[in-house]
């Protein structure tokens, strides 16, 4: 491992291998779910930390499975755009990537056992299902990422389920309040995947993928992405107007420049390198929106 680290110019290659811009998709839902739980019980912060780290490990491992199988199927090349491609560009051994992914899964599993011990063993089934979906996203004979259902599965698992599990391990149940607030989280995680597929539309078409962006076309895919953003903001506004959540939740408005810029850039540019900032803004929309929603709930709880 140390020889590879030197050959691959240090820790930056390994850091990029985790695809750090996607890791916030793990932090934000855990934080939101915990802030929801605050309204029902005292928070066990050690449990919160275990959940957060486990989710980060699963997300990083999923990204490494993606790296491995994209290489194995010949989809990555030295000309590929994006922060993937550590195998073809930096000489990281495919076997090492798979071993790291499995190691992270193992560590997440150990944390999962602790979480189950402190909450409910029923979560073993849910956690195992989430980890299986993470692997099947790009692994197995029919990878989810190569189908029109990639956004759906990533949104439900990484956006919605993480919020609900983070609430459940603290409260011992899943309040309707948590389900309502998990909807925009799911949409914004799905948006990250969709923005990635819009950028990679041409390359994915050559690789034989059948993503939603390919099936509906670039223009319609951008419109769908915009609808994810619009629904997310209007959803929270609606919950505030119905007095279901605190008005402080409208702090999410502070994040609105990011999705506006992302959509504008996607509509004006189609070169994969030029739209990379739009992908970044989409990921930041998820992080900032969900984090501000959690902060709003926290302020509303104390006021």
Residues 132-171: tens digit of each pLDDT: 998 898 888 889 988 999 999 999 999 999 999 999 999 9
Mean pLDDT of the chain: 89
What lies within 8 Å, CB to CB, of 302 at 6+ separation is none
Q: Confirm whether 5 is domain-assigned.
A: no
Domain count, the chain: 1
Assigned domain for 3 exists: no
pLDDT digits (tens, 9 = 90+) for 11-38: 666 667 767 766 777 889 999 999 999 9
Residue 129: per-residue pLDDT: 92
What is the span of the domain harbouring residue 162? 11-302
In a domain, 116, yes or no: yes
Q: Is residue 27 one of the residues assigned to a domain?
A: yes
Asked if residue 120 is part of any domain, the answer here is yes
Residues 155 and 186 sit within 8 Å (Cβ to Cβ): yes
pLDDT by residue (tens digit) across 224-276?
999 999 999 999 999 999 999 999 999 999 999 999 999 999 999 999 999 99
Residue 4, in any domain of the structure? no
Q: Under a CB-based contact definition with an 8 Å cutoff, are residues 180 and 232 in contact?
A: no
pLDDT in tens, 38-67: 999 999 999 999 999 999 999 888 888 888
What lies within 8 Å, CB to CB, of 223 at 6+ separation is none
| pLDDT in the model for residue 147 | 94
Note the pTM of the prediction, 2 decimals. Answer: 0.89
Q: Assess if residue 118 is contained within a domain.
A: yes
Which CATH number characterizes residue 245's domain?
Answer: 1.10.600
Give the CA dihedral 160, 128, 133, 70, nearest 10 degrees: 130
The reply to whether 95 falls in a domain is yes
User: 79 phi and psi, to 5 degrees?
Assistant: -90, -5
């Amino acid at each position: 491992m140390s020889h590879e680290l030197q050959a691959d110019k240090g820790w930056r290659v390994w850091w990029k291998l985790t695809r750090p811009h996607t890791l916030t998709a793990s932090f934000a839902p855990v934080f939101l779910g915990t802030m929801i739980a605050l309204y029902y019980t005292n928070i066990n912060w050690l449990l919160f930390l275990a959940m957060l780290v486990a989710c980060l490990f699963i997300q990083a491992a999923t990204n490494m499975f993606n790296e491995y199988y994209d290489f194995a199927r010949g989809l990555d090349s030295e000309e590929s755009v994006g922060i993937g491609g550590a195998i073809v560009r930096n000489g990281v051994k495919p076997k090492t990537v798979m071993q790291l992914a499995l190691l992270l899964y193992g560590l997440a599993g150990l944390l999962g056992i602790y979480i189950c011990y402190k909450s409910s063993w029923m979560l073993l089934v849910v956690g195992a299902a989430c980890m299986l979906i993470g692997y099947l996203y790009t692994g197995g004979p029919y990878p989810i990422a190569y189908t029109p259902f990639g956004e759906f599965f990533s949104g439900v698992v990484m956006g919605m389920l993480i919020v609900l599990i983070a609430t459940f391990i603290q409260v011992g149940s899943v309040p309707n309040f948590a389900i309502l607030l998990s909807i925009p989280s799911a949409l914004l995680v799905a948006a990250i995947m969709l923005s990635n597929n819009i950028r990679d539309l041409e390359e994915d078409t050559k690789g034989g993928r059948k993503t939603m962006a390919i099936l509906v076309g670039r223009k319609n895919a951008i419109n769908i992405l915009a609808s994810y953003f619009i629904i997310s903001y209007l959803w929270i506004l609606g919950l505030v107007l119905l007095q279901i959540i605190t008005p402080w939740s409208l702090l999410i408005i502070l994040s609105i420049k990011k999705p506006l810029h992302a959509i504008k850039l996607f509509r004006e540019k189609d070169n994969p390198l030029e739209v990379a900032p739009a992908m970044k803004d989409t990921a930041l929309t998820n992080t900032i929106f969900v984090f501000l929603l959690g902060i709003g709930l926290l302020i509303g709880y104390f006021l």
